[in-house]
Every structure is written in structure tokens, then in C-alpha cells.
Amino acid sequence: MQLDLSHVALEIREGRQSAANLMQMSIAAAQSPLCANVFSQTFFDEARWAAAETPSTTPLAGLAISVKDLFDTQGTRSAASSLVLQDAPLARTDSTAVARLRAAGAAIIGRTHMVEFAFSGVGVNPHFGTPAALDARHPANPQLAPTWPARIPGGSSSGAAVSVASGAAWAALGSDTGGSIRIPAALNGLVGFKSTARLVPTEGTVPLSPTLDTACAITRSVRDAVLLHEILAGRKVTKDERSLSQWRLAVPRPVFFDQIEPAVRNAFERSIAKLQAGGAQIEWIDLPELQELDGVNIIGGFSPTESYAWHRRHLQDPAKAELYDPRVRSRIERGASMSAADYLDLLAARKSWIAKMESAIAGYDALLSPTTPITAPTIASVAPANGFDAAADLRRDEEFFRVNGLLLRNTSVVNMLDGCALSLPCHNPNELPMGLMIWHAALHDDAILNISAGIEAMLNRD
């Protein structure tokens, strides 16, 4: 694990590091080939000024932070990495999340590209290109990395994750509606914490699903995840120094392990074994309530319905409608068929399912699962259609939707639960990145963060 933000901020306060020098390093990383397709807009001059002028006593001490392209940043356009919003008015004020980061001493280095309108867990964008996952290189010989096929970064916070993995940012502001923080964190070997949605305001953002949208961050460590959550939520996390052996942990079945790649299963089971060897008490349990979730979503789900309500004014304009990524547009338009009665039924079904789930997991402090059941496939395998080969385009579309479904399956459980979750790297240096997800129901955030810190420390031991 690289040096974390909070450690470096302390060094700045003690005069052992210079925020201005560190900003120059971040800018150099942002301008390097590693950050191809990462930024929709950069603010290098403003970031240099902020690094030089921000008091070192602030929590973020003038260090570089990136912002996903759906958060309002004063004087810039929130286009959500779309062509549709390229003529949208400039933001007159910062979104609440950005304002809180600035107040804590963040130097905003730029806006990061994302999946168009945040509607995918894969990370590809046909309009502005797709950043490549930085740690998903050939595991046997890192020197072959420049010639090895590029792999997807995960989405929708794709540029956010790569900005942190590359060193361009110390942390990245993003959003999580079905896994959009945790998936790219897992595929880039980073930490992604999705808080309970209600704890962080989402005012001043381009929405996907207001019911599920969560403003949160990608970081390099659990310690930084705590720091960023405290800033974004405006609250202090209660620290708990109990050892892992004193927490009640469980691994739920089934669902999370369906269609799992052998490499992911091996990494997950190896991590569980290491935790148990260190004294953690972990029980494998059956959680049949997980299988009921498909029935809850059978009438359509929140994201298509709520996104259609926001996008319909654009989709009804033929010129605007043509600007959408067809894969995104097709999913948004599914929401047009849901009636008000269906939507109310969905709300009631979710409420009932949450009550069942909370009752079933009440005896445990946290659940442990693979963040995603697969490692990052190549960008080429899921690239947007080029229109030159109908059969090849169909195969890529089919593969895209297969991969998207698998990537979102585990993480979206937590969003439907209205819960909180953290993805922690669990791969060895010679493996593609994989994530271990620590999760529970709403407002268990402090327990999840404390348990995650203990798990991170134990997994990092030799």
C-alpha cells in the first residue's frame, strides 16, 4: 500500500513535506500516459495556488483531489462525460460534497471522466475514451505491461480510480449507485467506501437514481477512507480498538459466488483463511434472502425509472437523443414503461426486503464477500460497437452486458439494502487486482470502517 493521504498531510504539517512539491508530482502524473482519458478538465494553475496557500493545519493540507464529472464545481460544466450536456450552463456554486472538500483543504486537480451518466459498472466511454486499469497488468512479468492488452477500469467512477492509482490524486470524489465506487476500487487495487446514502448530501450533482445515489470516495487506505468520509459526511467516526477476534463476522451464501472466477475465489478464500489464522471468528452462513432480490427488481428497478424521469426531456429531442451512448440510452428508456403503481410497488417491495435482510444479519457486525466475482476483462472485449462488422458488434454488446451484470451483482445488493460497504484489495502482487467487500445495513458505517481497518492491517502482514 502506498503512503496514505493522512500520513502525508501530517508530514506537511510537521514541515517534512511540501504541498507545493507534492502537487507538482501529482500534476506530472496527471500529464503522463498513465492518465490517458482520465480527466475531462484539469485545474493545474488553481491546484498549484491552492497547494501553496492552503493552511497546513487543514485535514487535506492542499493535496490533490479529483472530482467525478457529475459534481458541480463552480465555474465548470457538469457534463457527466456525455455529449448531451456539453452545452449545459456552468455551475454557479460548488456541490455540497466539493464545498466540504475545499473547506477541508483539498486542492481540486481536475474533473474525471466516467461512464456516461454513471450508467454502467464496466467503465467504457465511447465519446471520450476509456482509461485503463493501472494495476491490471500481466501478473507474471510487469515489464510487459506497456504491450499487454489494456483492461477495463470499472465504473462508473473510472477516471476517479485511475487518478488515484496513477498518483495524480491522493483521493477521488465519486458516486456509488450500484457499485460505482467499489468496482473501480477493486479493479485498480484501491479502497472504495460506500457510506450509508443519507449521510452525505448529493445536492449539486447529475443524478442517476436519487433513491440509491451515494456521494463517496476512492482512497489508498482505510485510514484515508475514514478521513474522506468524515469530511464528506460532516461527522466523526467513532474509533473502536477491538481486535478482529471480538467482532462477529460472516460470509453469506449463495449469490455472491455464482459464476465466480477461480482466481477470485482463491484470493477470497485465502484472505478468509489468513484472517482466521490471525484470530478472526468467521462463520459461513446461508442467506436465502439474497435470492429474493431478483423478484424485487423484476418490474424494472430504480435506476432505469428514476433516470428516465430526469432524461426524458433530452430523449424527446431527436437531436439530443442521438448523442447518447446506445448502451446507456437503451437502459434509460426501459424506465419509460414503469407506471406510478409499479414504482410504488417497488418501493414497498424494497422496504419489506430490507426488513428481512436486517433481521437475518442482525447477529453479525459485518458480512464479507468478494467485491466482484470476476477480474477486469480487456477493454477490447467490451469496446463500443464500431458499425463495420455487425456480428462482431453483437458479440461485444453481449459480452458488455454479461460483464456489466457480473460486476454489479455483488455490490448492488448493498445499495438495495440502503447499506454501507468497503472494498479492500485482497490480491497478491503477482495477481490481477481483486476486492474483499466488508458490508452491513444502514448506519453501520463506523463498525464497517473499524473492521475494515483491522482486516487491512492483518492482510498486509507478512
Q: Catalytic residue numbers? A: 68, 156, 180
Asked if 105 and 142 count as a contact pair (C-beta separation under 8 A), the reply is: no
Q: At what angle do helices 19-30 and 44-53 cross, to 10 degrees?
A: 160
Name the pairing type of β-strands 107-112 and 249-253.
Answer: unpaired
Asked if 189 and 154 count as a contact pair (C-beta separation under 8 A), the reply is: no
Cell 442521438 found at: 322
Distance, in Å, from the CA atom of 187 to the CA atom of 336, rounded to the nearest integer, reads 33
Asked if 131 and 159 count as a contact pair (C-beta separation under 8 A), the reply is: yes
Distance, in Å, from the CA atom of 208 to the CA atom of 180, rounded to the nearest integer, reads 11
Written as one string, the DSSP assignment of 260-327 is: --HHHHHHHHHHHHHHHHTT--EEEEE-GGGGGHHHHTTT--HHHHHHHHHHHHHHTSHHHHTTS-HH
Answer whether the bond into residue 156 is a cis peptide, omega within 30°: yes
Distance, in Å, from the CA atom of 320 to the CA atom of 311, rounded to the nearest integer, reads 10
Asked if 61 and 51 count as a contact pair (C-beta separation under 8 A), the reply is: no
Backbone angles phi, psi at 343, to 5 degrees: -65, -40
Cα 331-332-335 angle, rounded to 5 deg: 100
Written as one string, the DSSP assignment of 350-398 is: HHHHHHHHHHHHTT-SEEEEES-SS-PPBHHHHPPP-SS-HHHHHHHHH
